[in-house]
Amino acid sequence: MELRHDWKLAEVRALHDLPLLELTYRAQTIHREAFGDNAVQLCSLLSVKTGGCPEDCGYCPQAARHHTGVKAEKLMPVNEVLASARQARDAGATRFCMGAAWREVKDGPQFDAVLDMVRGVRAMGMEACCTLGMLSDDQARRLKEAGLSAYNHNLDTSEEKYGDIISTRTYQDRLDTLQSVRDAGIHVCSGGIIGMGESVDDRCQLLITLANQPEHPESVPVNALVPVKGTPLAEQKQVQPIELVRMIATARILMPKAMVRLSAGRMQMNQEAQLLCMMAGANSIFFGDKLLTTGNPEYQADMALLQQAGVRPLQPNEARP
Ligand code: SAM
Ligand code: DTB
Ligand code: SF4
């Protein structure tokens, strides 16, 4: 299978805008070639450090400057995080993702505690991912040593649109952190959000930036904005599920071997739309009734959906660390 790194806007836009059934057919064909079947990875997400963030990301309920009702909390104790990880594993998770509302990682006891969390999750046989903001080369190296499988750091949108959403850091800052992660030999998890008032070209440009790096990210989360009261994006119109299907299918075609993760936004979708996302190439969901601070479908409902549709959850030995 040819992996390309020279995608151009016109061709990506042409793919994105194909009649939906043609687009999902092409995406599914590529998906089958890359993965063999439609197994879906169940991932668990935990906010290990919630709220009080100094950044100004327009979508985010955890920015201190947005009055959203999210309380600033301290870093969770390692044993509590690991208890939650064990529960997630016992419920079928093969990947455990830990999120912190930090602008960047600072060396010291908190970072040391995160390294212990990573070691603990790996010892349970799950993939460990974390998302902690910006990282230095040295911090990336220490995370790798602790066994971290992947680091999540989203580009969120196109470079052009970025300044409308976030002013406290640049697109280049994001790309630099992704480079540190890549250089340390940690898998890259990077994607974005649709529904923030961006154009379809912005969406395509985001996917192009991801795909045209020297190596594709191993993991691409696609989020639909969860509009949260108190954030500047609270009044955005919710995206149509079909827009998410198009984004996922286009991501699958551009980055055939990546895990494409249907992330935030499932609360706003019915089960049929979620299955359409899986047909279009999404092969991972977050399960459990909370994402970081906002809601997610109930565990029982998710299990019933997978069972009814005969979607096979990825098993621990199949997960790719
Ligand atoms: N502070 C770190 C950072 O920004 O990289 C890590 C945590 S941050 C909450 C992780 C990601 O969650 C963001 O990059 C963004 O893509 C996503 N996110 C945050 N709020 C969201 C919302 N309301 N709707 C959809 N996605 C959201
Ligand atoms: C990602 O792209 N989506 C997840 C994960 N990476 C960390 C986070 C979604 C957060 C949605 C808003 C919230 O629950 O606070
Ligand atoms: Fe902070 Fe991350 Fe939220 Fe931005 S997305 S405000 S960096 S927690």
Angle at 31 between CA 297 and CA 26, to 5 degrees: 105
Is 57 designated active site? yes
Q: What is the pLDDT of residue 35?
A: 94
Q: What's the pLDDT at 23?
A: 98
Instruction: Provide the token pair at 290.
Output: 């909370």
Catalytic residue from among 97, 130, 204, 277: 97
Active site residue 43: no
Whether the per-residue pLDDT at 185 is higher than 70: the answer is yes
294-315 burial code (b ≥16 CB/10 A, e <16): eebbeeeebeebbeebebebbe
pLDDT over 80 (residue 73): yes
Q: Could you report the per-residue pLDDT of 285-315, keeping only the tens digit for each?
A: 999 989 999 999 999 999 999 999 999 999 8
Name the DSSP letter for residue 98: E
Of the pLDDT bands very low, low, confident and very high (cuts 50, 70, 90), residue 317 is confident
| Span from the CA of 60 to the centroid of ligand 1 (angstroms) | 6
Q: What is the pLDDT of residues 20-58, one digit of tens each?
A: 999 999 999 999 999 988 899 999 999 999 999 999 999
Is 68 close to ligand 2, i.e. is its CB under 6 Å away?
A: no
What span, in angstroms and rounded, lies between the C-alpha atoms of 154 and 293?
A: 17
Give the integer Cα–Cα distance in Å for 46 and 230.
Answer: 22
pLDDT in tens, 228-268: 999 999 999 999 999 999 999 999 999 999 999 999 999 99
Q: Name, in order, each residue with C-beta under 8 angstroms of 293's C-beta and a sequence gap of 6 or more.
A: 47, 50, 51, 61, 62, 70, 228
Output the CA 46–ligand 2 centroid distance in Å: 10
HEC string for 250-287: HHHHHCCCCEEEECCCHHHCCHHHHHHHHHCCCCEEEC
CB 174 within 8 A of CB 139: no
Ligand 1 pocket (Cβ < 6 Å) reads: 59-60, 62, 99, 101-102, 131, 133, 153-154, 156, 193, 223, 225-226, 228, 264, 292
Q: Which domains does the chain have, with CATH numbers?
A: 9-314 (3.20.20.70)
For the Cβ of 85 lying below 6 angstroms from any atom of ligand 2, the answer is no
